[in-house]
Structures are given as structure tokens and as C-alpha cells.
Structure 1
């Protein structure tokens, strides 16, 4: 299988890290949906990252669906989701909040960096900025005493939340300060030290 997309995308990066942690073999092709549009279009006319090119040549998009496929095809016994029902609920809840933070951060990036300055909406920027901060504040309050968000090992919640946090810092330096979300900042730093995260590093 081949994973196509840039690692500075939170959705590509969470997919890459998930595959590595699940032991799913794949090749990574780093293509930008902007700079490499023609080449990306030849692989997938949707030009959507991440794109997973399956062994039979078919393509799949959407990070959550691709990760679900990895979960179903990983080595038996390997999973990034807790088996316990209560912990699974918590994991999915926190994963959804991490996805929300990533989505709002992407929206803010497009509005402030991609859209022409004269067409930008200050009201929209203020709104998504508030949503980003509120989401991280919510996550910060739910970081518990365990090593990770849902127990003693990293799960999909840790991956998604940490990836979103790094993306926000990368695209909007100073927007969220570690001192305002100390528990979340500590969790993200711990995650970034994992081999799968280091393999998905970007500048």
C-alpha cells in the first residue's frame, strides 16, 4: 500500500503514525495537493490527502476511514483502541475533539495563509480561533493521572490530539501557549518522543 500526502497535514500525519504503530507495511509518497496537483491528480482525481493506494490499485480517502482499515488489517492483537467499553468511549470522545482541533486549525490556516488578504474574514478568523482554544482547554481538563489519555499505553486519542497540537503550533505560532494548557502540552511532548512520531517529523 502507498500513503500519499504531506506530513505537515495533521490528517496525513495521524494516518502515517497509526500505520507505523499498528505495524501495517506501507510506502509513503510525499505530494502536496497544491504544488504537486497534476501528479496527485494522476494518482487520485479527488486530489485529497491523505490518499491510500491499495494493493489492488484502488484508492481510499479520509484519515479516519483509512485508519479503520488499518485497524482491521493489522496483526491480530494490535490495536490503537481500548478493548474496555468505558475506555473505548473515552478514546473515541477524545479522538473526536482532537479531530475538531485539527479541522479548525486547518480552516484558520486556509483563511489566514491561503485566501487573499483582501478576501479574509476577521469575524471568521476570530470564531475559529476561539473554537481552537476552547477545544484545547476541554482536552486539557481531561488529561488524567495515567501515562496516556486512556490508560497506560498510547491510543488513537493520544495520536490525534498530539498531532493536532503540533499542527496548530506549526501553522499559528503563539496562538496557543503551553502554559495555558500544561497537561495537554506535556502529553503532546511525550507523544512526539515516540518512534512513530519521530518517523513522521516535519519542518
Structure 2
């Protein structure tokens, strides 16, 4: 159960970071257009990448034991930088979503845009394949349970974001709301970084 919860929280903290994909899902939710399609594409894409990361890292670390240390310290460094960037964004940058600026798109275009936001984003590979894959090695024979938790987090997050967006729309029109979210993400990222680097 600890492995499942750890996987769930690790994946959730990574997905929470503000990016083009999440902003797109939020926009679709606010517009109430093809919400299920967008959410299922994002969640299934994450699931494929997480399974590849967990399975691949487990196999690779059995053959090359030093990869676990490389992944652990590399992943920790990446999380640290990610956390600092979130703090910087919370302090310096402004985010706001204005529903009136959204244009209507067809189902096909929406699906293609969702795929592009997911698969053409280099961060998704770092987050799912590399980072979640590297953290999963800490759980040994429970790595698959960790992966299941991570996959579950993707489904919960994307469908909550997509269908809950209409409730969040007034809140996220204010730049301060994005700043608060960025700050929380930064704290989580730094905590994960120290856990990954300094845990035995």
C-alpha cells in the first residue's frame, strides 16, 4: 500500500506543475468541449509512458546496477531544478485564463492538439519514463504497485481537472491562484528531490 500511495503522490506532484498540457485540459474543461476525449488521451498516454518507465528501469537496473544511482541523483537534481523554477514562476510570472479568448475546434483537431501537447513535450518523458521510472526502483518487487499508483494519479488528475474546470474557472482567472499553485508545486518538488537524493 505504501508503494501505491508513493506512486500516486509522486505522479500527482509532477502532473500538477503548470504546463501547456494542463492549461489545454483546463481550457477544454472551461469550454466544456470534448472533455472526455481530452482527458482519456492524456491519461492513457501517461499510463503507456509510466509502464514503459517502470518496466524499463527495473530491467535495466538488473543488468546495469550503477544506473540506479545515476537515475536517483539525476532525478533528484531534475526535481530540484523543477522546484526552483516553480518558485521563480510563482514570484515572477503571471498566468491567467480568459474564457472569452478561446476558439472552438473540431473533434479531430482537438484530439491532434491533445496528442501534440502530450507526446511532443520533452518534459513528459523526463517526468514519466525517467523520473517515475527511477523512483520506482526504490520499491524493488513492489515497483509495479508503485507504477499502478502513478497511473491512477494520472486518471484521477486529468478527469478531475477536465470536469472540475468549470468550477475552477473563476478562481484561475486570477493570476494569484496560479502563483499559489506554483509555490505548492515547488515545495513538493524540493521535498521529493531531497527524499530521492538523501534516502538510503
TM-score of the two chains, using structure 1 as the length reference: 0.26
Structure with greater proportional helix content:
2
Q: Which one has the bigger strand percentage?
A: 1
Higher relative contact order, structure no. (Cα contacts within 8 Å, ≥ 6 residues apart):
2
